[in-house]
A and B are shown apart, each in its own frame.
Chain A
Amino acid sequence: MPVEIDIDHVARLARLHLTPEEKERLRAQLGIILEHAAKVGEVAAADVPPTASAIPRSNVLRPDTPAPSLAHEDALANAPETEDDRFKVPRIVEME
């Protein structure tokens, strides 16, 4: 059975605008893909530990030596909009 998913909810979580046609197509396609993907549950027994990375590494540090970092103007060069050396975004907080 294809999996039923709440497309509007998932699209809201993903901050993704979808047209009605896209939603319809995704609802059908994701349902089928997830039905196939759910096969993982057939073999993933409780005593099998999960793997997040095939070659695990932890506490990887590099020497704490100062070095030049990305220049301000380089970091801002690709921004759609800037003001006073900062990224500019549409209003976030409603003003009273």
Chain B
Amino acid sequence: MSVTHLCDLTGTELAAKLRAGEVTSAEITASCLARIDTVEDRVRAYLTRTEDVARARAADVDARLANGEDLPSVAGIPLALKDVLTTRGIRTTCGSRILESYVPPYDSTAWARLSADGAVLLGKTNCDEFAMGSSNENSAFGPVHNPWDLDTVPGGSSGGSAAAVAVGEAIWALGTDTGGSVRQPASLCGVVGLKPTYGLVSRYGLIAFASSLDTVGTFTRSVRDAAVLLSSIAGKDPMDATSLDGPKRNYTEGIEQGVAGLRIGIVREAFGEGVQPGVKASVQAAIDRLASMGAQVGEVSLPHTDYALSAYYLIAPSEASSNLARYDGVRYGLRVEGGDSVEMMRKTRGSGFGPEVKRRIMLGTYALSAGYYEAYYGQAQKVRTLIIRDYEAAFESYDVLVSPTSPTTAFRIGERADDPLAMYLSDVFTIPANLSGVPAISIPSGLDDAGLPVGLQVTAPVLAEPTLFRVAHALEGELGFDALPPLVAAL
């Protein structure tokens, strides 16, 4: 498929054109804004648009480049941010009524680093309320539509970021991944989604859902772009006690090394019941290519995969029930008056939170309550240990693991809305990486018979992002996935 608009190029391609003087950041930004004007009424990826901020930054970068300044690779490239990452002076809603008019007094570290590197902010993207969901239908401000089929979901919770990148409404974007919220929507929207090692990117200013699982991740149209973005946002931050030590590095180095000689484990549990035939076929075809590229491919078992989902739906809601206690109508956000302080809090929370958030607060409060803590939360923490041991065992024999990202392609809006368990199953293959902290990436492996994208997930050991990028980049080149959503192809 040939690309005729700047907004459909990768960040790496655009950065080269900027430096060659072929285009300006103002032109790239204008291309993205024009695309937003053309498709946004059908896609609904954005909650807040920041055209003026974007144009001003683009002009600044153009002036600095014209002056001969040597700027980082992300400079001048238009970006979207999931609306759970705080932006100083720019509304940040978490897709919730309770934060509908919240204007943060501080920047998230991930955005602060990109901004310091000259990134151009186009706006804040729609998401499931407080990042809780797998379809974006839990946003208080309406669903996002998948550009590949507007009647289907883009996945979630970072659905707006995924859809925006898929349809050219941004060159790349940040999302957050607590149980698959970057990788699953990337899979459903046919883009690349990276969840780095837990702690590699600071969580400061990532409005908390489940603190021991929350990870800032990236949406891009190439694996190399993911490495470029990660290079800007990764690294120790004194404002996040869980951020990992280690020097800044350039993650594009070594990306071309190929897969010859690498040991690649195919996760047996990820090809069982409940996985669509079209998903299995597409991922299997990609695996066959890996073998022909010189990788040593074998089968591996993660025996506690089935239990990961159960553990996750105790741990994440437990942490959420504690984190979301801060929405009490006192310091920020909605307040609903009535009676004494406790009554005010009850009414504020009852009116400000949507159904999925209430469900998880109740679930977590119950799992942590006296008499039940040991049977639920305590046991779930033990399962977490077993999941980590599964990975440790698998990585003794393999450098990376491969599976489908999600059991299905994009499903229809409304299809799973009344069945929370069916919805939760979307994340069955992505959750284990969050429980164990390891990095994972989803890349498009092809389209199914219905013309919907399938995602393939590569998982690596803690801090082995260079290996992850190496495998994903080689496979991406081999597969040559270059289909565009019908919405874009028709332009």
A80:B376 contact, CB within 8 angstroms: no
A17 CA to B221 CA, complexed, in Å? 43
> Binding site of A, secondary structure by majority: helix, strand, loop or mixed?
loop
Q: Which residue of B lies closest to A17 (CB)?
A: B350
A50:B313 contact, CB within 8 angstroms: no
On chain B, the residues within 8 Å of A13 by CB distance are 365, 369
A39: contacting residue among B306, B342, B349, CB under 8 A: B306
> Binding site of B, secondary structure by majority: helix, strand, loop or mixed?
helix
State whether A54 and B362 are in contact (beta carbons under 8 Å apart), knowing that A36-B313, A78-B331 are contacts in the complex. Answer: no
A14 CA to B361 CA, complexed, in Å? 7
On chain B, the residues within 8 Å of A90 by CB distance are 337, 339-341, 343-344
A22:B340 contact, CB within 8 angstroms: no
Contact residues, A1-22 vs B (CB, 8 A) = 5, 7, 9-11, 13-19, 22
How far does the Cβ of A27 sit from chain B's closest Cβ, in whole Å?
Answer: 10
On chain A, the residues within 8 Å of B341 by CB distance are 89-92
B385: contacting residue among A14, A32, A49, A71, CB under 8 A: A49
A40 CA to B378 CA, complexed, in Å? 9
A10:B241 contact, CB within 8 angstroms: no
Interface size on A, residues (CB 8 A): 55
What 0/1 pattern do residues 333 to 351 of B give for CB contact below 8 A with A? 1110101111111110111
B342:A15 contact, CB within 8 angstroms: yes
On chain B, the residues within 8 Å of A33 by CB distance are 313, 359, 363, 420-421, 424
A41 CA to B379 CA, complexed, in Å? 6
How far does the Cβ of A12 sit from chain B's closest Cβ, in whole Å?
Answer: 9
A30:B366 contact, CB within 8 angstroms: yes
Is the C-beta of A79 less than 8 angstroms from some C-beta in chain B?
yes
A50:B385 contact, CB within 8 angstroms: yes
State whether A43 and B307 are in contact (beta carbons under 8 Å apart), knowing that A29-B420, A33-B421 are contacts in the complex. Answer: yes
A36 CA to B462 CA, complexed, in Å? 29
A29:B359 contact, CB within 8 angstroms: yes
On chain A, the residues within 8 Å of B382 by CB distance are 40, 43-45, 48-51
B314:A37 contact, CB within 8 angstroms: yes
A14:B238 contact, CB within 8 angstroms: no
State whether A39 and B102 are in contact (beta carbons under 8 Å apart), knowing that A10-B369, A26-B362 are contacts in the complex. Answer: no
A40: contacting residue among B311, B331, B438, B462, CB under 8 A: B311
B462:A55 contact, CB within 8 angstroms: yes
A80: contacting residue among B330, B353, B381, CB under 8 A: B330
Is the C-beta of B435 less than 8 angstroms from some C-beta in chain A?
yes
What's the count of A-B pairs with C-beta under 8 Å? 180
State whether A11 and B362 are in contact (beta carbons under 8 Å apart), knowing that A37-B313, A43-B304, A91-B341 are contacts in the complex. Answer: yes
Q: Which residue of B lies closest to A12 (CB)?
A: B346
On chain A, the residues within 8 Å of B329 by CB distance are 80
Is the C-beta of B465 less than 8 angstroms from some C-beta in chain A?
no
A81 CA to B342 CA, complexed, in Å? 16
Q: Which residue of A lies closest to B314 (CB)?
A: A37
On chain B, the residues within 8 Å of A7 by CB distance are 362
On chain A, the residues within 8 Å of B105 by CB distance are 70-71, 74-75, 77-78
Contact residues, A45-65 vs B (CB, 8 A) = 45, 48-55, 57, 60, 62-63
Is the C-beta of B244 less than 8 angstroms from some C-beta in chain A?
yes
A25 CA to B365 CA, complexed, in Å? 17
A55:B199 contact, CB within 8 angstroms: yes
B332:A78 contact, CB within 8 angstroms: yes
B437: contacting residue among A50, A54, A60, CB under 8 A: A54
Q: Which residue of A lies closest to B434 (CB)?
A: A54
How far does the Cβ of B393 sit from chain A's closest Cβ, in whole Å?
Answer: 15
Q: Which residue of B lies closest to A14 (CB)?
A: B365
Is the C-beta of B427 less than 8 angstroms from some C-beta in chain A?
no
- Write 30 A-B pairs (CB below 8 A) sorted by A numbering: A5-B366, A17-B349, A30-B362, A33-B363, A33-B424, A36-B313, A37-B376, A38-B310, A38-B376, A40-B310, A40-B314, A40-B383, A41-B375, A41-B379, A43-B382, A43-B383, A44-B380, A48-B385, A51-B382, A51-B384, A54-B435, A54-B437, A55-B244, A77-B105, A78-B331, A79-B331, A87-B330, A90-B340, A92-B340, A92-B341
**4 interchain residue pairs of minimum CB distance:** A17-B350, A54-B437, A50-B381, A78-B332
Given contacts A49-B385, A78-B331, A90-B337, 19 further A-B contacts (CB under 8 A): A9-B369, A10-B369, A15-B325, A15-B342, A16-B350, A18-B358, A19-B350, A22-B355, A29-B359, A29-B420, A36-B309, A38-B310, A40-B307, A44-B380, A54-B438, A55-B244, A70-B106, A77-B103, A81-B335
